Amino acid sequence: MTRTTCNMTPMSGMNTMTVVAWIDPVVEAHGFGPASSYIEACWLPILGPTSTWLYRRLAMGLLVEDEFEVDLVDLAVSLGLGEGLGKQSPIARAIERLIRFGAAEAHGQRLLVRRALAPLTTAQLARLSLSSFQAHQRLTGQS
């Protein structure tokens, strides 16, 4: 599947989006789930706090069921992002970051979200603070 941008502007008054598990057996076997310390210590500096909380919220739901409907206004408000759903709204920008860094992929009104994230790449590791880099080493068994 090709990665596409997500148009969060509701179509025909729709304020919902279907969230679907992006099943990747390799990443799920060797990566880190949404409740993992690795997500907070290592992915948060890459995704940013808003996108990290969004990822956790969506991916945790996908650990229970492979697909669910989410009310975008409710989701945005529950994350402290206000009610806006336009292209430049905080919720749209947070979803775009998930897509940009490979945690999600948009397909129309469907958002595929990984149930686990892979360890950071070498380029991403270079952007981390010392404490985050040390957490990466510890949590991946590289220390």
> What's the rounded Cα separation, in Å, for the pair 95 and 84?
13
- As a whole number, the mean pLDDT across the chain is 91
**Per-residue pLDDT tens for 10-51?**
323 458 999 999 999 999 999 999 999 999 999 999 999 999
pLDDT over 70, % of the chain: 90
Write down the domain spans for the chain. 16-139
Give the 3-state secondary structure of residue 120: coil
pLDDT band at 108; cut points 50, 70, 90? confident
User: What number is the average pLDDT over the span 81-100?
Assistant: 94
Confidence (pLDDT) at 10: 37
Angle between helices 90-100 and 49-62 (to 10 degrees): 70
The span from the CA of 102 to the CA of 72, in Å, is 21
